[in-house]
Amino acid sequence: MYMVMKMQQQNTTSNEGVEVLENRPFEDEVLGKGQYTSKFYHLQSKAPAWLTTFAPSDALLMQEEAWNAYPRCKTVIKCPYFTRFSLTIETVHKADNGCSENVHGLSKDLLAARQVEIIDIASAARDYWSYVVGSNNMDFTKFRSLKTGRGPLLEGWQDRCDPVMTAYKLVTIDAPYWGFGYRLEQTFLAGERALFLESHANCFAWIDEWFGMTMEQIRELERQSDFSLNKKLGKELLVASDEELEERGSIESKWSVRQSNRL
């Protein structure tokens, strides 16, 4: 949660970045209790050149819904410009080194179609999307956490480190567009891969900033961050107090957003 907040702040300006629409608790039978968020990602400058040849600059306005119920999370991303496009990420966190074979409970057919890629947060390999998403340039072979003593991450660290955790991410993407659908799918997959690497590397690199924080402290930082993000983009986040919600017969803290020029 800390990593998400900090990366959103780093990548949001007055012109593009993350707009928070809703942030509230949820509960369902599959994931249990957790936090639901709805966001817009304004990514104009990150659109590849080939896409801008036939789509407007704001084609990479992405709408994200996420259900975070650690150790399970689900994220659904859609694009208003490409209405048939969808990308779903289902995450399971396990206290192992990546040895689990089928944490998502896939059928034999889906297992046969699945492509597995291992992403090592200590990897120094970079590609085009690494520079688009951003890179912390941390050398984990020399890094040691002052608060926890964890690190450095030398070759084969997954088999030696304790504790260790793997985030198993099942990515399903569909872009049924003749002529460019496959290229669009590959573009988003490459972008997501770079984002997975960067975000989880940051999570470890910033461990001394968030380690020891309580959930109450994180939630308060999250509220402040959501206000700050929307202010940068010229939006305004409206928060209903618990007393106001109780008057409406609800005890959930529901957050909504309006355009500032409509208030």
233 pLDDT band (50/70/90 cuts)? confident
Which residue's entry shows tokens 């002529």?
A: 179
Q: pLDDT averaged over the chain? A: 87
pLDDT value of position 76:
98
Evaluate whether 141 touches 154 at the Cβ level (below 8 Å). Answer: yes
* pLDDT(84) > 90: yes
pLDDT value of position 165:
96
The mean pLDDT of 66-84, rounded to a whole number, is 95
CA 226-122-118 angle, 5° bins? 90
**Number of H helices and number of E strands within the chain?**
9, 8
Position with higher pLDDT, 203 vs 15: 203
pLDDT value of position 94:
97
The mean pLDDT of 202-219, rounded to a whole number, is 96
pLDDT value of position 78:
96
51 pLDDT band (50/70/90 cuts)? confident
Q: Which contacts qualify for 181-184: CB closer than 8 Å, 24 or more apart?
A: 183/50, 184/51, 184/82, 184/85
* pLDDT(246) > 90: no
> Global pTM?
0.86
Domains in the chain: ranges and CATH:
1-260 (3.30.530.20)
Give CA–CA dist 47/50, Å, rounded.
8
Q: Torsion angle, CA of 200/206/210/212, rounded to 10 degrees? A: 100
- Tens of pLDDT, residue by residue over 186-196, are 989 999 999 99
